[in-house]
A and B are shown apart, each in its own frame.
Chain A
Amino acid sequence: MSGIVTELWPYIVLILVGYLPNEVWRMLGVAVSHGVDENSELLIWVRAVATAVLAGVVAQLVVDAPGALALVPLSVRLAALAIGFLTFLVIKRSVFAGVMGGQAAMLIGGYLSGVSLMVP
């Protein structure tokens, strides 16, 4: 019995501290949205907050970069984000063009600042 628990423990942890604390917001959203009119002023505010959360996540991922992205200097990461956004604006507000423009800047800048293209 304890052998099974030990083997399944990582999965139990995944459900308890990964799945449930995240899913609770989706389910709460289902409950709260009941009776909210899609054209209400409340939703305009809620949508603005959700948009701001997204913008905040973008900023945090770039400023406080995870893993290998931290090897690339902050100036290059910020420049890549700006160049991606400019490419998006210039090329018909295309998300794909924006992502490609930003990635090109990021790869060139990262390479020039010495981030390895070799497998460690």
Chain B
Amino acid sequence: MLPQSPAPPEGAVLSPGAAVLAGMRASSRSVFCYTLFATFVGFGALCHDLGFSIYWATLSTALIFAGPAQVISVTMLGAGAPLLSVAFAVALSGIRLLPMTVSLLPMLRTPQTRTRDLVLFAHFIAVSIWIETLRFAPHVPRENRISFCTGIGIGMTTSSVLGTIAGFVLAAQLPPLLSAAVLMLTPLSFLTSTARNSILLSDRTAFVLGLTLAPLLAWMKVDFSLLIAALTAGTLGYGAHWLRRVLQ
């Protein structure tokens, strides 16, 4: 059994370095440390199968650190797609990082926080970091939050890079059913952890609507289906939250 990640110690303010280490320790107790490892085993195997080098695969994880963007770029480049269309597809897939960044930073910074610390932390923002930061940060003294969460990012990236290398090396030895199981890890862990973090009515409504609208619009061949589905579902979710408050 993996331990369910406990909340980090509350109270005492640590030095920035100690806070980074505490964040790295917290990341090792997160279920994402393990699902990321396994997910990137899938990515490493994909890179191998598409003829990229192990250095390229590793650099992709270290630099991009966003599953969808990496899978999209390696698949499209492997198929010889025009570079501009790859960049466009990656940019579309990355839009989700904008609202995540905007919603995280205000709860992490203090008036004294330096921009470069925010920029460094922002590099690590991904679904897993977003979820774990929302969960951990409220229990960490505000002065330590940005360092602590950067530590979470470093821990998760390390685990992902190791997974990429393992996947690349193991590529030829994985049977199809296990490869499929590796690819199923991402949706399962995203689904359950987002559900765990959705406390507000707005989030819950947006979650259920997003789950149904996105494939519906994709099936209807609507352009930018994910983006339109998310904006619609998110806005309706906010509407539900607003309506309930007005009625009370």
Contact = CB atoms under 8 A, between A and B. Distances in A.
Interface of A: 10-11, 13-30, 32-33, 36-38, 41, 43-69, 71-72, 77, 80-81, 84-85, 88, 93-96, 98-99, 102-103, 106-107, 110-111, 115-120
A17 B74 CA distance: 10
A61 B186 contact: yes
A51 B229 contact: no
B241 A67 contact: no
Interface in B95-117: 95-107, 115
B77 A84 contact: no
Contacts of B219: 63
Contacts of A68: 176-177, 179-180, 182-183
A48 B198 CA distance: 9
Contact of A21 (B46, B90, B107, B182): B90
* Among A20, A33, A43, A88, residue most surrounded by chain B Cβ atoms (within 10 Å): A33
B71 A66 contact: yes
Given A56-B214, A60-B215, A69-B184, A14 B235 contact: no
B90 A17 contact: yes
B191 A17 contact: no
Contacts of B248: none
A22 B196 contact: no
B93 to A, nearest CB: 7
Contacts of B163: none
Given A55-B194, A95-B196, A33 B105 contact: yes
Nearest to A47: B103
B28 interface: no
Contact of B90 (A22, A48, A62, A88): A22
5 closest Cβ contacts across the A-B interface?
A29-B101, A49-B234, A55-B210, A56-B214, A52-B210
Nearest to A85: B191
Interface of B: 1-2, 4, 31, 35, 42, 46, 52-53, 55-56, 59-60, 63-64, 66, 68-71, 73, 75, 77, 83-84, 86-88, 90-91, 93-107, 115, 118-119, 122-123, 125, 127, 130, 172-196, 198, 200, 202-203, 205-215, 218-219, 226, 229-235, 237-238, 241-242
Contacts of B70: 18
A78 B17 CA distance: 44
Contacts of A94: 4
Given A19-B64, A59-B210, A94-B4, A51 B203 contact: yes
A20 B172 CA distance: 31
A22 B86 CA distance: 11
A99 B185 contact: yes
A55 B206 contact: yes
Given A10-B56, A44-B200, A66 B75 contact: yes
Contact of A36 (B35, B106, B230): B106
Contacts of B194: 51, 54-55, 58
Contact of A50 (B75, B88, B130): B130
Nearest to A70: B180
B176 A115 contact: yes
